[in-house]
Amino acid sequence: MVMMPNVVYDAYESVKTDDAKVIYLSPQGKKLNQNEVKHLSKEKHIILLCRAL
């Protein structure tokens, strides 16, 4: 599914807070492994933005 950028931005703006950790996932990035997930689970607020191919 292709989403318009303004829709994604509006969704992001509606949930972000000052203490939110934003992670942008893309095929070009490093692999998200179990150790990283354990580390991220300690964060109070996480926003995952995903990009497909």
Judged against a pLDDT cut of 90, whether residue 52 lies above it is answered with no
Kindly state the tokens that stand for 48. Answer: 């995952």
If you search the block for the tokens 């934003």, which residue do you land on? 22
Q: Check: CB of residue 46 under 8 Å from CB of residue 24.
A: no
More confident: 1 or 20:
20
Query: What is the pLDDT at residue 53?
Result: 61
How many other CB atoms are there within 10 angstroms of residue 20's CB atom?
Answer: 14
What average pLDDT does the chain have?
89
Alpha helices, DSSP H, located in the chain: 5-15, 34-40
Query: What is the pLDDT at residue 50?
Result: 86
